[in-house]
């Protein structure tokens, strides 16, 4: 797929470009991003160059991961990175990090909802999943504010820096944000 640009009320989400390398490198020096995501630690400039110059374009070209730089709609600094990847048939998974100085302002919740709307319409996604290591309360707060249902714990489900860790899993369905599903859904009766 060719990269697309998405807009929300305050944000512009677009594919990373070579001009973003310095800001990616700076943001990823944050110990919290290194701790809770699978980026290399320590994070070198060459890691930012590979991310922006190889990983992001390859993901779009091969239709396996759509990664976006998140910036203010009118222009400005890099706020965050977010992506959708397609680990299972019919389901997409959202991932993200937010630069330290931009946390707590609702930007990531807004970006996740923008991605969800795109996934539910253009990608015909029936279920958007989120996973995070248990303890990553910032990530969990984002998806809960976006309307995801945290569905449980998956033991030994996340490989991060050579160690399997327990993780939370949650999901957002189109109906959770008043959108139609591409297929009918029959919830279990309990």
Domain containing residue 24: 6-126
Is 60 a domain residue? yes
In a domain, residue 185? The reply is no
Which CATH number does the domain housing residue 114 bear? 3.40.630.30
User: Rounded mean pLDDT of 131-146?
Assistant: 98
Q: How many CA atoms lie within 13 A of 43 on its CB side?
A: 22
pLDDT of residue 66: 97
Contact 170, 180 (CB under 8 A): no
In a domain, 132, yes or no: no
Position 161 in a domain: no
13 φ/ψ angles, rounded to the nearest 5 degrees = -115, 120
Q: Is 180 a domain residue?
A: no
Q: How high is the mean pLDDT of the chain?
A: 96
In a domain, 168, yes or no: no
28: DSSP letter: T
Number of domains in the chain: 1
Q: Residues 143-152: pLDDT tens digits?
A: 999 999 999 9
Is 187 a domain residue?
A: no
Model pTM score:
0.93
The pLDDT, as a whole number, for residue 8 is 98
Q: What is the pLDDT of residue 127?
A: 95
Residue 143 lies in a domain: no
**Is-contact 155 166, C-beta < 8 A?**
yes
87, two tokens: 């680990």
Residues 6+ apart with CB under 8 A from 120: 128, 174, 177, 179, 181, 182
């Amino acid at each position: 797929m060719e990269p697309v640009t998405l807009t929300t009320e305050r944000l512009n989400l677009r594919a990373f470009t070579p001009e973003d390398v310095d800001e990616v490198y700076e943001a990823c020096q944050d110990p919290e991003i290194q701790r809770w995501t699978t980026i290399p630690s320590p994070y070198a400039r060459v890691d930012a160059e590979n991310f922006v110059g190889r990983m992001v374009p390859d993901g779009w070209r091969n239709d396996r991961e759509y990664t976006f730089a998140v910036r203010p709609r009118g222009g400005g600094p890099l706020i965050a990175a977010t992506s959708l990847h397609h680990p299972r048939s019919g389901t997409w998974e959202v991932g993200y990090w937010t630069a330290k100085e931009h946390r707590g302002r609702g930007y990531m919740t807004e970006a996740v909802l923008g991605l969800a709307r795109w996934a539910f319409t253009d990608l015909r996604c029936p279920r958007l999943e989120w996973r995070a290591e248990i303890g990553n309360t910032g990530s969990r707060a984002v998806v809960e504010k976006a309307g995801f249902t945290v569905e449980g714990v998956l033991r030994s489900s996340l490989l991060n820096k050579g160690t399997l860790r327990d993780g939370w899993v949650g999901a957002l369905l189109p109906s959770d944000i008043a959108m139609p599903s591409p297929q009918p859904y029959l919830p279990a009766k309990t």
